[in-house]
Amino acid sequence: MGSGQLNGNVNGNGNGGGGGGGGDGVTTTSGSSSNSNSSCYNNSWLCKWRWPQQQQQHVAKNNNNSNNNNSLKGGGGAGFGGRRLVLSSSGYFFVVWCFVVYVFVGFLYGWLALKKPYTVAAGLSSFGCQEDSEGSWSIGVFFGNSPFSLKPIETANVWRDDSAAWPVANPIMTCASVSSAGFPSNFVADPFFYLQMSLLNQELVDSSEKVLGGCTHVVGCRQYFPSQWIELRLMFPAAILFDFSLMKMLLGLCKNSYLGPNKLWIVSLRTSKDWSQGNDLYLFYETKNSITMQGDIGVAKSVDKGATWQQLGIALDEDWHLSFPYVFDYHGQIYMMPESRAKGEVRLYRAVNFPLEWKLEKIIMKKPLVDPFMINHDGQYWLFGSDHSGFGTTQNGQLEIWYSSSPFGPWKPHKKNPIYNGDKSLGARNGGRPFVYDGNLYRVGQDCAESYGRRVRTFKVEILTKNEYKEVEVPFVFEASNKGRNAWNGARYHHLDAQQLSSGEWIAVMDGDRALSGDSVQRYILGCASVAAVGILVVLLGLLLGAVKCIIPLNWCAQYSGKRSDSLLTWERESMLCSKVRRFCSRLNRSASYLQGKIKPNTSIGRLVLAVIFVAGVALTCTGVKFIYGGNGADEAYMWKGHYSQFTMLTMTFDARLWNLKMYVKHYSRCSSVKEIVVVWNKGEPPKLSDLDSAVPVRIRVEKQNSLNNRFKLDPLIKTRGVLELDDDIMMTCDDIERGFQVWRQHPDRIAGFYPRLVNGSPLRYRGEKYARRHKGYNMILTGAAFVDSQIAFNRYWSEQAKAGREFVDKFFNCEDVLLNYLYANASASKTVEYVRPAWAIDTSKFSGVAISRNTQVHYHKRSECLRKFAEMYGSFAGRKWEFGGRKDGWDL
């Protein structure tokens, strides 16, 4: 049936002339309404989308009113003709077909690229660590000789055997550690230390004579800044009179002591170590509750200088959002001043039962201050904060100061207020606790130019009086990571609390995030935009193929079937926007014929254009799925028993494989837990370190002899116990590497790797992974991609017992990994290997033509000989077999 004929039938007033196209036989109503609105009131069904049932009913009605019921191709009645019409004219089934294809592509991409081949870690609250538009903040600990030379805790080489953290690494606290303790959290941020001295026989004294005796005594006071201690150590062989003049001098230095005027403490210690090891650390922080979606104040405790943290609970929970828990001492009491901007107040809480019970002491200001802190400076109390509620205030670019003679007020505004109100990059918003270093006061601010909390900036306060304020920026340098989103603080860090321990060492706590503020929202918007673009491409394909007759169905326009009155016509003329929209739709629909005239699908160019459009749709579908469901794109490390850790990567190569090495270093150095890459250089001229693009230190160990035994050579410069032996021609995801490291930390006495083998039969034969899969088990892991304990594995390999095996490896130039498996099996009757299934792995040597084992049959024959020889030397383990799928997390399926 021609389109014109069908139009006539639909309108019921014409016979539908000719097969030409566009709306002949249309009956008009009032003559005055004819042309200007014909595109919208034209009842041409060619530019209408209906559900199939509606189409069938519509066509059936037309057939009953038409004089030519056989005009529908194929005959067979209205029902059959209606279905054919839906297929050929409305584009309904074409759209559905495209939708199914692209959904399948998106599902396949998500399953292959985004699906994690494992389950959520057992014990983690299902409510915790939900994706949050505010970020995924975590907390790390740093040490240094000063607050300007801070290094992460992993550089201190702190080891914890119970969690196989060799060494302990940042972050020391995440939403996972808090949620696992029973407090569901989306993120943790704004950390503040409180240092509590675990001292013996502490006694408060007045400025009077005091008799001391016995052993070591520490005399001093605690400044308002908890990090500032003035101490004096005296050794007394017998009782002695403490000099009043010395006491007076200390009182002069301690004029800002929280103990009050003319007060000192005297501590008697059994040994000098009691003082240096007596610091208990409390960490107060903001935790965003995953259920209420508001900030609460959490608290944790550490007795080992921040390496291990015990979650104590929620210290403060109000009906509004809380953050920035600034904790300080005053007159022997502990106070907290959290941000209560949502309440519109600055509130002071006092510890009733430290650290979990707090009582509101006083509302010191009726202002919605952001990130406020309080200091005692030159006998005056100063309150710093940002008030974003005022007219003309720059968000994150404003700072105000108030002063008082007491923390409880009354507070008076500084003469220069606002101190800042403008550029967000100037560090106006507070970024943590101020500190004193070398007698100078420093303020910490946030640079919010690129994103909220982009980085920390420090300022030296040169003038602080009631009428003047001056600060100058000083460089804040700390050892930051270059791993981007794979680093826990790779995108931003916005809070610092640095304090000095009694030993003189500085300890600091900082928060960090992998992504910028609003990252999840941006990804969702980009994902939806990609999906919408796919829909546009589907319509474009339909237009070019003739399956879709128009872009904007005209029955979406408001229709008026009655007689037009003068008032209706007047309204239509006045509604210019509606008219413009209708004209735009009409022109857009006419572009279909234009495109079909320019791009002919039956030509080679037309087919190429269709293919490009289809491929673009596939790419946009995958992009949309990645943005919506792919997370922040980071391959994060896995915590084990409250600790993160790091490992060393070791690879063995030579000059002909430099191309592999460059790609290897660039990729794996960005993995979260990699501390260092050691390159065992067996032959040729080694590359310059500047030739390698690495985010971690790279050390090239040049060997005198080209031997495979060099892979397991004792190396005292390796700083971690965990070592990943990974061939330079194997590429896999950082997430696979992190999972392998997690499995090894759970079983550090085993070889944990990615390539399983099953050794059995008589005589023993070496076979590939498919054989192990068919027989549903394995008993050997290839060390070309495996984690080992450097202390255990290297010592075993270079023991006197393994000497004959090493000589055999040199003779065959093969089988060093097989030898290590025999040495492990010989040392234990229990399980000695663990398998982790990678999402994917690529052998890059096949692209470079420098594979060591090009002939697979010869390679397998040599390794079979090795199996039989090593079985004679160390005993066979062919009788052992461990099945796949034995782990609860499904990582070994």
On whether residue 758 sits in a domain, the answer given is: yes
Whole-angstrom CA distances from 724 to 445, 678, 744, 795 are 40, 10, 10, 16
- Residue-level pLDDT at 197: 53
On whether residue 856 sits in a domain, the answer given is: yes
Residues 479, 342 within the same domain? yes
Q: Which residues of the chain have pLDDT under 70?
A: 1-92, 115-126, 197-279, 549-578, 592, 846-854
On whether residue 298 sits in a domain, the answer given is: yes
- Residue-level pLDDT at 566: 63
Mark out the alpha helices in 396-546 (DSSP H runs).
Answer: 519-545
The span from the CA of 720 to the CA of 703, in Å, is 21
- Residue-level pLDDT at 591: 72
Dump pLDDT digits (tens) for 336-387. Answer: 999 999 999 999 999 999 999 999 999 999 999 999 999 999 889 999 999 9
- Residue-level pLDDT at 847: 66
On whether residue 886 sits in a domain, the answer given is: no
On whether residue 882 sits in a domain, the answer given is: no
How large is the angle between the packed helices 803-812 and 816-827, nearest 10 degrees?
A: 160
Structural tokens at position 505: 């060492």
User: What dihedral do alpha carbons 223, 225, 227, 229 form, nearest 10°?
Assistant: -10
| Strand, helix or coil for residue 730 | strand
Residues 246, 305 within the same domain? no
Structural tokens at position 564: 């037009």
Residues 260, 242 within the same domain? yes
The span from the CA of 728 to the CA of 850, in Å, is 11
On whether residue 184 sits in a domain, the answer given is: no
Residues 408, 541 within the same domain? no
Residues 687, 785 within the same domain? yes
Dump pLDDT digits (tens) for 612-657. Answer: 999 999 999 999 998 988 888 888 999 999 999 999 999 999 888 8
The answer to whether the beta carbons of residues 288 and 187 sit under 8 Å apart is yes
Task: Indicate which CATH number applies to the domain containing 738.
Answer: 3.90.550.10
On whether residue 173 sits in a domain, the answer given is: no
The span from the CA of 425 to the CA of 446, in Å, is 8
The whole-model pTM stands at 0.79
The span from the CA of 403 to the CA of 291, in Å, is 38
- Residue-level pLDDT at 851: 58
Task: Give me the catalytic one of 329, 736, 817, 892.
Answer: 817
Half-sphere exposure of 750 (CA within 13 A, CB side): 21
- Residue-level pLDDT at 613: 92
Indicate the number of domains in the chain.
4
Residues 496, 407 within the same domain? yes
Residues 272, 322 within the same domain? no
**Block residue for tokens 């960490």:** 283
Residues 725, 592 within the same domain? no
The span from the CA of 512 to the CA of 60, in Å, is 67
Residues 524, 602 within the same domain? yes
Instruction: Kindly report whether the peptide bond that precedes residue 355 is cis, defined as omega within 30 degrees of 0.
Output: yes
- Residue-level pLDDT at 600: 82
Give the DSSP H/E element, type plus range, for residue 594. helix 576-598
On whether residue 50 sits in a domain, the answer given is: no
Last residue of a domain, one of 605, 632, 659: 632
**Block residue for tokens 């609390």:** 497
The span from the CA of 406 to the CA of 80, in Å, is 89
- Residue-level pLDDT at 438: 92
Does the annotation mark 727 as catalytic?
no
Residues 411, 268 within the same domain? no
Range of the domain at 270: 199-276
Residues 612, 627 within the same domain? yes
Residues 412, 552 within the same domain? no
